[in-house]
């Protein structure tokens, strides 16, 4: 446990909690958390997760813009249903990304756990995109990914980060429940 990991965990926890609450402050805090985890994952040679943090930074900026535009139009961040085709396409892209990233990192880097790291990173990108698009199903994918991340971080000795991801599973459950409720309220008021 390093000061870097402690800071990354604390800021990440607050950012995820704010995301579940649909609070706009989640976006700048998520950017800071990405920067901290980029450095941490570089230090422990989880390169796919390191690059994931950089890509998350782009996704965070995208989500910030989408949520800001939505909030201007509706005064609150609304939840949007995920079409079946969108779900299947997202999962297919996640699988293809896992294969591509896994192959690259297993052949061209000294990454530890290249295939697992690649799979988690790829499906995290799908979950991030779904979150930015305000789909409540993003929380279900986050739950699945975070369960496996807990094990990977325990294996890598990042116990505080593993604890954060365990807590994030609970936050994802809360986020799913709250977003489902918000989507139901929006549907009834239409």
Concatenated DSSP letters for 49-115?
HHHHHHHHHHHHHHHHHHHHHHHHHHSSPPP----HHHHHHHHHHHHHHHHHHHHHHHHHS--SSHH
Q: Write out pLDDT tens, residues 126-148.
A: 999 999 898 999 999 999 999 99
Q: Write out pLDDT tens, residues 76-85.
A: 778 888 999 9
Q: Write out pLDDT tens, residues 13-24.
A: 999 889 888 888
**Residue 161, domain extent:** 3-189
The tokens describing 149, both together, are 């991340």
Q: Write out pLDDT tens, residues 90-102.
A: 999 999 999 999 9
Please state the rounded mean pLDDT for residues 169-189. 83
CA atoms within 13 A on the CB side of 43: 13
For residue 61, pLDDT beyond 70:
yes
The tokens describing 181, both together, are 């409720």
Is the whole model's pTM more than 0.85, yes or no? no
Q: Which residues contact 66 (CB under 8 A, 6 or more apart)?
A: 132, 133, 134
Number of domains composing the chain: 1
């Amino acid at each position: 446990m390093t000061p870097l990991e402690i800071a990354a965990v604390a800021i990440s926890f607050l950012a995820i909690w704010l995301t579940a609450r649909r609070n706009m402050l989640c976006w700048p805090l998520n950017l800071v958390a990405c920067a901290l985890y980029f450095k941490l994952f570089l230090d422990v040679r989880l390169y796919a997760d390191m690059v994931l943090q950089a890509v998350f930074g782009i996704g965070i900026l995208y989500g910030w813009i989408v949520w800001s535009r939505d909030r201007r139009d509706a005064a609150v961040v609304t939840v949007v249903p995920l079409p079946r085709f969108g779900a299947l396409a997202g999962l297919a892209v996640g699988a293809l990304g896992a294969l591509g990233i896994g192959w690259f990192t297993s052949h061209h880097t000294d990454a530890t756990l290249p295939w697992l790291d690649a799979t988690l990173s790829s499906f995290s990108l799908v979950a991030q995109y779904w979150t930015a698009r305000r789909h409540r199903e993003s929380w279900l994918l986050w739950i699945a990914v975070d369960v496996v991340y807990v094990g990977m971080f325990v294996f890598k000795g990042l116990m505080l980060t593993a604890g954060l991801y365990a807590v994030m599973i609970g936050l994802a459950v809360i986020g799913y429940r709250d977003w489902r409720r918000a989507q139901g309220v929006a549907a009834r008021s239409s």
